[in-house]
Structure 1
Amino acid sequence: MTIVRKKPLNPTLNPSVSPPENLAEKYMEAERMHDVLLLLQNLINREEATVKLILNCLYDVGSVNLINQKLRLKPLNRVMKLIARMSKPAFRIIALYWFKKNCPQLITNWLHTQVSFEKPQKPPEQVPIEVVKLEPYSIPQTESISQEIINLRSQVRWLAGISIIAIAVLVVKATWLN
């Protein structure tokens, strides 16, 4: 039995079929990137102390910056910084586990994009946006909204104060028990 093709198999005419050279290159590329992944995993396992020091530095800087950005009240800010220092050992364990599991693959993928030299994707097309002119609130609505904002701010102050007191009590109890 003989198979006869009506159209010759030409890679230039059929882009879904790759010539054998491209397949070999793709296989070699995948194999080399797998080697990079294994080397990165080996490096992380061998230099675990260095990774821990890097994670400690990142935690110190990141926790302080996050607390300063999110909490403007000085007493609450100080208490949260103390809590951040106490939670550092737990962070170290979790971060080291996450780093060993995910970072070699993330670094390998990033390095692969750097050496693939592919052209960037087209930017997404601009979608026209319909703008609707809004009318301002009426005076009674504005007054009720202002009063609601004042009430919410006072509730937030109460909650912040209660939280600070509760955290302080927990810290005092923890130090007293130790």
Structure 2
Amino acid sequence: MTIVRQNALNTNVSPSVNPPETLAEKQVEAERMRDVMLLLQNLINSEEATVKLILDSLYDVGSVNLINQKLRLKPLNRVMKLIARMSKPVFRTLAFNWFKKNCPQLITNWLHSKVTFESTENIPQQVAVEVAELQPYPIPPTENPYQEIKNLRSQVRLLAWISIIAIAVLVVTAIRLN
């Protein structure tokens, strides 16, 4: 696989010299955007409970929709929804730490892109183009692809039943211990 770099615009254009007023404006802009990021960090720290409630709501909706989309079997669907509810505190902790670390910068960058009002044709951009040779998946002539699909489906069913049984044993053990 090779990567070929292309410039989005012509590189023969010489860069223009910025007047001192533009440099001063850029410094003020960078300082104000740092202020925005610090204010967002402060907001997240002071409104921790609100952020966690937002993340909880997103997790509830997203996990149910993902489980409904990926799992069609009713018993397995219900078990996975139960597991999703039980794993919510772990998600809340991990998601809040990620949110606290990454979102102020992401939101600041997004807001900055909204207030710059620069046209995209003035900004030279590097575009990475990946060129890869595609090779078809070799199917051995002795194997039947339909038989392979049947084998994979049976393995999935077996793993699903093993998971259900393991979860049932876990639930029964937890009930007996209480």
Give your verdict on TM over 0.5.
yes
Gaps of 5+ in 1: 1-12, 128-133
Write out aligned runs for 1:135-150 (5 A). Answer: 144-150=144-150
Unaligned runs of 5+ in 2: 1-12, 131-135
Stretches (4+) displaced over 3 A: none
Q: Equivalent residues in 2 for 1:97-136 (5 A)?
A: 97-120=97-120
Aligned position for 1:53: 53
Number of equivalent positions: 161
2:28 counterpart of 1:28: yes
1:47-90 per-residue CA deviation (whole Å, 9 max, x = no partner) reads 11111111110010011111111212111111010011111111
Q: Which has the larger radius of gyration?
A: 1
Change (3 A) 1:142 1:74: farther
AA matched with 1:66: L
Q: What letter matches 1:30 in structure 2?
A: A
| Distance in 2 of aligned mates of 1:89 and 1:117 | 41
Change (3 A) 1:14 1:21: farther
Cα distance in 2, alignment partners of residues 103 and 154 from structure 1: 43
Corresponding residue number in structure 2 for 1:90: 90
In the superposition, relative to structure 1, how do residues 30 and 155 fare at CA in structure 2: closer, same or farther (>3 Å)?
A: same
Q: Could you tell me the percent identity over the aligned residues?
A: 75
- CA distance in 2 between partners of 1:150 and 1:93 (Å): 41
After TM superposition, give the deviation of residue 109 of structure 1 in Å: 0.5
**1:159-178: per-residue Cα shift (whole Å, max 9, x none)?**
11111111211122123223
Higher fraction of strand: 2
1:124-164 per-residue CA deviation (whole Å, 9 max, x = no partner) reads: 7x99xxxxxx9xx9xxx698221221222122211111111
